[in-house]
């Protein structure tokens, strides 16, 4: 068996050698570790930009045979996020060489090691300039295309170069255009609904140290891009009070070098907002000692905000906790808890004879929740619900504005997910006479045990507003919470089969 495996690997190696490979092609593979990830457990875009720039630079230097520096990176659209534990595959090759500059194409994909599934992440085109060790200008050799795809990229590279050269002129003309300025002033929104841009302004300083420099002692281009992405993300987060996702970058253009010992001033501000996205402008300036600031780079980044994504991901992270403690079990209902610094998380679980898809349909309809949960009175608006609950202490009645997100299984073995969390919306301001509460994370997961049996788990990351409703049950799964889940079980069993609609 072992010899067969060795033979197959040897044959695979010979097969790869027989295939054509561009002489400038460079590949990088990196497994995403927690130190590379952001607060959502996803690969930081800044880290990805550093890996992309490093791979592209090595490809450019392989073709040029001398040191190269990053001149610009074209627009990048990120199609897919990358999670911890996945593998990042980066491939770079020179598409076309001009006099002393060249275009390098970069392809990024991610690989799930457990399923073997590959996903395209992004494609980018970077321009690198060859730097001679002496004062003479480098004359690059031509990149000769062989395959049909290489011929296509070689042809398009000339047009992309022309667009890069006139990019700055287009922006200048647009800003000086009176018609554009007049239409912009007419399109300004009601000041009462606007957020002052000054609130989103971010400024940060970085000292360039030896680890931030490349082998030419210049500040690594990927590091500058990563610092710019960091301040842009902070600016976007200040506006939406959430964790936005970077979707596009509108051209990094390096206007000058910086070296070890320089101080880099990074500035970002939200320029404009749209329905569920925003544009952030960001620039980098450098200085050393008492010299004036030098403009190093600038870019525009578009961030998108997905309320439902954060909603579902928060519930899945709560479900994935492995330190649940069994507090009590009564009949088929079990209560688990996890204590954290600022909250108490609990999980209620039961098995019930009902198909998982039917349970998902019934529990998704929050309009019917009052049939088994007397705490709930629902005022629905699409997937936004206003939930009213009676006061336990006799004070003001509580209300919550909840976003409901429903997800069927993506694959066999995955659960049905119903996620709930509080949102703040201008269409649902606090109501007089009600105490506005907050649900950090709550919802159901429904696993299919068999065709007729489901395992239903309810999760809640309890805040001070929610704790009064469950505190009497934590000690022993007593009274209301146990009876509520019994009522839920009875509700599901009574509606196991869909009732026919009445005929007119």
- Residue listed under structure tokens 């009590």: 328
In a domain, 124, yes or no: yes
Residue 8: pLDDT band with limits 50, 70, 90: very low
Least confident window among 35-44, 442-451, 475-484, 489-498 = 475-484
In a domain, 117, yes or no: yes
Q: Say which residue, 412 or 106, is predicted with more confidence.
A: 106
End-to-end CA distance of the chain: 70
Q: Say which residue, 237 or 93, is predicted with more confidence.
A: 93
Q: Say which residue, 12 or 94, is predicted with more confidence.
A: 94
Residue 474 confidence (pLDDT): 43
CATH number of the domain bearing residue 268: 3.10.129.10
Helix, strand, or coil here: 19? coil
pLDDT tens digit sequence for 385-444: 777 776 655 667 778 788 788 888 877 778 898 888 877 766 677 778 787 777 778 888
In a domain, 249, yes or no: yes
d(CA 392, CA 194): 38
d(CA 482, CA 60): 66
The answer on 431 and 325 residing in a single domain is yes
* C-alpha to C-alpha distances, 501 to 362, 363, 366, 370, 492, nearest whole angstrom: 16, 19, 20, 21, 18
Give the distance from CA 205 to its chain's centroid.
25
The answer on 386 and 371 residing in a single domain is yes
CATH number of the domain bearing residue 370: 3.30.530.20
The answer on 335 and 300 residing in a single domain is no
Cα-based angle 133, 139, 142 (whole degrees, multiple of 5): 130
Boundary residue ending a domain (280, 305, 330): 305
Contacting residues for 440 by C-beta, under 8 A, at least 6 apart: 314, 343, 421, 422, 461, 462, 463
Cα-based angle 87, 91, 97 (whole degrees, multiple of 5): 165
Least confident window among 142-156, 245-259, 421-435, 490-504 = 490-504
Residue 337: pLDDT band with limits 50, 70, 90: confident
Query: Which phi-psi region, left, alpha or beta, contains residue 408 (left: φ > 0; alpha: ψ -120 to 50)?
Result: beta
Asked if residues 455 and 447 have their Cβ atoms less than 8 Å apart, the reply is yes
The answer on 372 and 295 residing in a single domain is no
Phi, psi of 387 (to 5 degrees): -105, 130
Closest C-alpha among 314, 273, 255 to residue 41 = 314
pLDDT of residue 185 exceeding 80: no
The answer on 200 and 59 residing in a single domain is yes
- Which of 105-109, 177-181, 376-380, 391-395: highest mean pLDDT? 105-109
In a domain, 502, yes or no: no
- Which of 48-52, 218-222, 239-243, 373-377: highest mean pLDDT? 48-52
DSSP bridge partners of 174: none
Mean pLDDT, residues 72-76? 90
Residue 10 confidence (pLDDT): 45
Give the distance from CA 456 to its chain's centroid.
28
The helix, strand and coil proportions of the chain, stated in percent and rounded to the nearest 5, come to 30, 35, 35
* Axis crossing angle, helix 479-494 with helix 467-474, rounded to the nearest 10: 100
Number of domains the chain is built from? 2
In a domain, 190, yes or no: no
The pairing of strands 454-462 and 441-448 is antiparallel
Cα-based angle 290, 292, 293 (whole degrees, multiple of 5): 120
* C-alpha to C-alpha distances, 123 to 27, 375, 427, nearest whole angstrom: 14, 51, 39
Residue 283: how many CB atoms within 10 A of its CB? 17
Asked if residues 495 and 362 have their Cβ atoms less than 8 Å apart, the reply is yes
To which H or E segment does residue 273 belong?
A: strand 263-273
To which H or E segment does residue 399 belong?
A: strand 397-407
Report the percentage of the chain scoring pLDDT > 90.
31
d(CA 313, CA 333): 25
Least confident window among 61-65, 121-125, 208-212, 301-305 = 301-305
Asked if residues 344 and 472 have their Cβ atoms less than 8 Å apart, the reply is no
Boundary residue ending a domain (255, 287, 305): 305
pLDDT of residue 55 exceeding 60: yes
d(CA 468, CA 55): 55
The answer on 438 and 332 residing in a single domain is yes
In a domain, 501, yes or no: no
Its domain, for residue 334, covers: 309-494
d(CA 267, CA 205): 9
DSSP bridge partners of 31: 87
Boundary residue ending a domain (305, 325, 355): 305
pTM for the model stands at 0.61
The pairing of strands 434-436 and 397-407 is parallel
Closest C-alpha among 129, 115, 54, 63 to residue 90 = 54
Q: Is the dihedral angle over the CA atoms 235, 240, 242, 246 positive or is it negative?
A: negative
The answer on 356 and 255 residing in a single domain is no
Q: Say which residue, 10 or 194, is predicted with more confidence.
A: 194
In a domain, 7, yes or no: no
d(CA 230, CA 463): 30
């Amino acid at each position: 068996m072992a010899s067969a495996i060795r033979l197959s690997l040897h044959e695979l190696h010979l097969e790869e050698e027989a295939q054509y490979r561009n002489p400038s092609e460079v590949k990088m593979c990196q497994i995403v570790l927690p130190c590379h990830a952001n607060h959502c457990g996803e690969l930081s875009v800044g880290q990805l930009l550093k890996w992309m720039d490093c791979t592209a630079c090595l490809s450019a230097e392989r073709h040029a045979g001398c040191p190269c520096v990053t001149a610009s990176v074209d627009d990048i659209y990120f199609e897919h996020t990358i999670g911890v534990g996945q593998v990042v595959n980066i491939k770079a090759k020179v598409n076309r060489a001009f006099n002393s500059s060249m275009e390098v194409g970069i392809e990024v994909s991610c690989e799930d090691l457990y399923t073997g599934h590959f996903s395209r992440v992004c494609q980018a085109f970077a321009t690198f300039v060859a730097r001679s060790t002496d004062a003479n200008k480098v004359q690059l050799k031509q990149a000769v295309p062989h395959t049909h795809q290489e011929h296509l990229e070689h042809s398009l590279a000339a047009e992309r170069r022309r667009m890069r050269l006139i990019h700055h002129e287009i922006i200048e003309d647009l800003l000086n255009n009176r018609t554009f300025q007049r239409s912009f002033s007419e399109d300004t929104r009601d000041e009462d609904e606007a957020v002052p841009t000054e609130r989103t302004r971010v400024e940060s300083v970085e000292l360039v140290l030896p680890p931030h420099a490349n082998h030419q002692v210049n500040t690594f281009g990927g590091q500058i891009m990563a610092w710019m992405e960091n301040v842009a993300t902070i600016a976007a987060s200040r506006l939406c009070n959430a964790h936005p996702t970077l979707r596009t970058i509108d051209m990094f253009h390096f206007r000058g070098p910086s070296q070890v010992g320089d101080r880099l001033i990074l500035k970002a501000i939200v320029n404009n907002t749209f329905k569920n996205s925003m544009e952030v402008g960001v620039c980098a300036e450098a200085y050393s000692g008492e010299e004036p600031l030098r403009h190093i780079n600038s870019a525009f980044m578009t961030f998108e905000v997905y309320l439902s994504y954060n909603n579902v991901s928060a519930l899945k992270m709560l479900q994935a906790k492995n330190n649940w403690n069994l507090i009590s079990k009564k009949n088929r209902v079990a209560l688990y808890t996890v204590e954290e610094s600022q909250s108490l998380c609990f999980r209620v679980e039961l098995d019930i004879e009902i198909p998982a898809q039917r349970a998902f349909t019934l529990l998704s309809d929050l309009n019917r929740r009052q049939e088994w949960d007397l705490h709930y009175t629902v005022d629905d608006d699409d997937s936004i619900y206003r939930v009213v609950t009676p006061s336990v202490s006799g004070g003001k009645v509580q209300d919550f504005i909840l976003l409901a997100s429903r997800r069927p299984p993506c694959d066999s073995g995955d659960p049905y997910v119903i996620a709930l969390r509080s949102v703040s919306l201008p269409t649902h301001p606090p109501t007089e006479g009600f105490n506005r509460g907050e649900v950090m994370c709550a919802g159901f997961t429904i696993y299919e045990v068999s065709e007729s049996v489901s395992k239903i788990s309810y999760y809640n990351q309890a805040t001070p507003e929610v704790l009064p409703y469950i505190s009497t049950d934590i000690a022993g799964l007593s009274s209301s919470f146990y009876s509520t889940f019994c009522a839920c079980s009875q509700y599901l069993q009574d509606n196991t089969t869909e009732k026919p609609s009445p005929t007119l």
